[in-house]
């Protein structure tokens, strides 16, 4: 039994090592239609790491499966991406990374919210954006509770209460049993 488990473990290790040591994809081994899609990459192809070559090949295959309308949308999104500054791209990448790290229930809830927002009328979207930007300027700074030992999640807001203007009345004390 132990020998079988060790054999399975050894084979699994070999398979994962083989997957990681992926060979280069030769340009001439690509089908003609993929070479057409990836044409601008040909001069650099042999310099790219195998993982990047594989991602590009997979992307080209996906591109071929798109309808003309989907291709137009993808091109428009790509143009928008290129027009962003490096800082804006980094913000998007970080947001995507945070989303990927969320649990599936939280991701689903966020997708549902986004879908509800997308289905709003234009003027409703404008109003929500205006209110969001207005609230961003009014956000209260957060202060760690002294007893929290600076653990995340134990955050208290700074109280906004004014001190009482009238002195509190004292309750009469009751005499104890006597």
Residue 174 confidence (pLDDT): 56
Instruction: For residues 155-160, give the mean pLDDT.
Output: 43
Residue 136 confidence (pLDDT): 82
Instruction: For residues 143-161, give the mean pLDDT.
Output: 44
Phi and psi (nearest 5°) for 144? -70, 140
Residue 137 confidence (pLDDT): 73
In the chain, what percentage of residues exceed pLDDT 90? 57
pLDDT tens-digit profile of 50-98?
999 999 999 999 999 999 999 999 999 989 999 999 999 999 999 999 9
Block residue for tokens 């192809």: 45
Residue 135 confidence (pLDDT): 87
Residue 15 has pLDDT above 80, yes or no: no
Residue 26 has pLDDT above 80, yes or no: yes
Kindly indicate the confidence band of residue 140, based on its pLDDT and cuts at 50, 70 and 90: low
**Predicted structure pTM score:** 0.47
Residue 6 confidence (pLDDT): 37
Instruction: For residues 38-54, give the mean pLDDT.
Output: 92
pLDDT averaged over every residue in the chain: 77
Kindly indicate the confidence band of residue 105, based on its pLDDT and cuts at 50, 70 and 90: very high
10's enclosing H/E stretch is: helix 2-20
- Letter string b/e over residues 15-39, b meaning 16 or more CB atoms within 10 A of that residue's CB: eeeeeeeeeebeeeebeeebbebbe
The better pLDDT of the pair 90, 18 is held by 90
CB 11 within 8 A of CB 19: no
CB 53 within 8 A of CB 24: yes
CA 45/CA 26 separation, integer angstroms: 8
Residue 141 confidence (pLDDT): 56
64's enclosing H/E stretch is: helix 50-65
């Amino acid at each position: 039994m132990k020998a079988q488990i060790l054999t399975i473990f050894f084979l699994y290790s070999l398979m994962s090592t083989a997957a990681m040591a992926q060979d280069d994809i030769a340009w001439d081994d690509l089908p003609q239609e993929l070479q057409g899609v990836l044409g601008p990459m040909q001069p650099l192809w042999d310099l790219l790491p195998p993982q990047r070559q594989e991602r590009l090949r997979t992307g080209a295959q996906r591109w071929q499966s798109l309808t003309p309308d989907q291709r137009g949308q993808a091109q428009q999104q790509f143009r928008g991406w290129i027009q962003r500054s490096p800082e804006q791209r980094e913000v998007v990448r970080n947001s995507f990374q945070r989303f990927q790290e969320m649990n599936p229930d939280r991701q689903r809830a966020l997708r549902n919210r986004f879908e509800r927002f997308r289905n709003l009328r234009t003027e409703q979207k404008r109003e929500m954006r205006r209110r969001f930007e207005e609230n961003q300027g009014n956000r209260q700074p957060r202060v760690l509770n002294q007893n929290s030992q600076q653990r995340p999640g134990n955050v208290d807001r700074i109280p906004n209460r004014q001190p009482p203007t009238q002195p509190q009345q004292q309750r009469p004390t009751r005499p104890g049993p006597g």
